[in-house]
Structure 1
Amino acid sequence: MEKRRRWNDAAEYGPVTASLSSPSRAETKHKRSTSHPRTDLSAIRYQTCLPPKLVCASLLLRSQTKEAFALFDKKGTGTISRESLGDLLRALGQNPTQAEVAELAASAPRDIDFATFSAILNRPGGFSPAGTAEDFIRGFRVFDKEGNGYIGAGELRYVLTSLGEKLSDEEVDELMKGVQIGSDGNIDYEKFVRSILQQ
């Protein structure tokens, strides 16, 4: 109840000084009006204006980021290699282009520590959002000469390995596993896109 009251005070009075030992309402009002906050180390105090749910979500995200970083830290040195940067960003749900990764890797140290990675992850402007299924389908329609929703398997391979964010032949082989190719050698590109995005 006391914790809830403390957050209700914050909502009512704006950012307030909170302590580990919950302050009374009068003490809180006094802290707001005092221009020099108490610096006594016996009473650890902190400033906050974030609701508890947002603080918890932020801590959870940071914990997940550290966990993923540790998985990519192959040598256990607290660093990752520049070569792992793009994969780690993508593992955390970011969508950097290969050009962005190359630019970031070129300006990053050879071994990237967690603080440096956090700065990259939280850079101003972030990364390009991932395309939607409709975006990809619209892109494939350009190659659908007959307008019937199908594209040749060979043409699809060419598009994926030669245009935009180029994939390797091995990556295309992996993507095309389980894709139904018709007797005429064509692929329903809408089904293809939706199956890829569901993985």
Structure 2
Amino acid sequence: MNHSIDYVQDCFLVFDKVGDSRIDKKQVGDLVRALGLNPTNKDIDRVTKGCSQRMTFEEFVPTYQALEKAESEKEFEVSSFYEGFKVFDTENKGTLKEAELKDILTRLGEKLSEDEANAILGAVVDSDGKVSVDSLIRYVTNTN
């Protein structure tokens, strides 16, 4: 586990909106992302299948560990990100327009919410409303 069990439990309790030391199963994605993981919704659905609707910390720990293990086993090539974004870089300048990227993020593939898209855009958009593909990929892959 990347974080201490106490830290994970503290974060877990922040997500407890009822005060019963449980979280709603729908909150697992937000919680594990707050803990630094980046699973797909499909990954979350897979590991929470069979869990109680209101999960205890004891139920959450193996779920978190499974997602953490799956993430560490994921291999991705940064070059595949470049290839994917190249399709949208019609001017071949290594940049995308903010509005176009927001549309891509909220309509294609595993769709992001407006808030999620805005959070990413806020971190990578320049003053001209352009997004450097390099900056975007470094941001979403957590590489420098």
Regarding TM over 0.5, the answer is yes
The DSSP-based 3-state class of the residue aligned with 1:164 is coil
Task: State TM-score, norm by structure 1.
Answer: 0.56
Higher RCO structure (Cα 8 Å, ≥6 apart): 2
| Residues 66, 125 of structure 1: alpha-carbon distance in 2 compared, 3 angstrom cutoff | closer
Q: CA, structure 1 residues 91+133, in 2 after alignment: closer, same or farther (shift >3 Å)?
A: farther
2:61 aligns with 118
Paired with 2:84 and 2:67, the residues of 1 have a C-alpha distance of 29
**How many angstroms apart in 2 are the aligned matches of 1:125 and 1:84?**
16
CA RMSD, 1 decimal: 3.0
Residue by residue over 1:23-48, the C-alpha shift from the partner in whole angstroms, topping out at 9 and shown as x without a partner, is: xxxxxxxxxxxxxxxxxxxxxxxxxx
Gap regions ≥5 residues in structure 2: none
| Structure 1 unaligned regions, length at least 5 | 1-57
Contact 2:37 2:68 in 1 (8 A): no
3-state secondary structure, aligned to 1:127: helix
User: TM-score, normalised to structure 2's length?
Assistant: 0.73
Aligned match of 2:134: 190
CA separation in 1, counterparts of 2:110 and 2:24?
Answer: 22
Which residue in 2 is equivalent to 1:180?
Answer: 126
Q: How far apart in 1 are the matches of 2:100 and 2:67? A: 38
The corresponding residue for 2:36 is: 93
Paired residues, number? 138
Per the TM alignment, residue 119 of structure 1 is displaced from its structure 2 partner at its CA by 1.6
CA offset at residue 117 of structure 1?
Answer: 0.7
In 2, Cα distance between equivalents of 1:66 and 1:134: 37
Amino acid at match of 2:22: T
Task: Check whether the contact 1:72–1:80 (CA below 8 A) recurs between aligned residues.
Answer: yes
- The Cα shift of 1:132 comes to 7.7
CA–CA distance in 2 between the matches of 1:187 and 1:134? 17
Contact 1:181 1:187 in 2 (8 A): no
Structure number with higher helix proportion: 2
Judged with a 3 Å threshold, the aligned counterparts in structure 2 of structure 1 residues 123 and 191 are, in CA distance, closer, same or farther, namely closer
Of 51, 76, 81, 2:24 maps to: 81
Provide the secondary structure at the position in 1 that maps to 2:96: strand
Query: Per-residue deviation at 1:63?
Result: 1.7
- In structure 2, distance between residues paired with 1:167 and 1:112: 25
- Per the alignment, in what secondary structure is the counterpart of residue 112 of structure 1? strand
Q: Alpha carbons of 1:151 and 1:119: their partners in 2 closer, same or farther (altered >3 Å)?
A: same
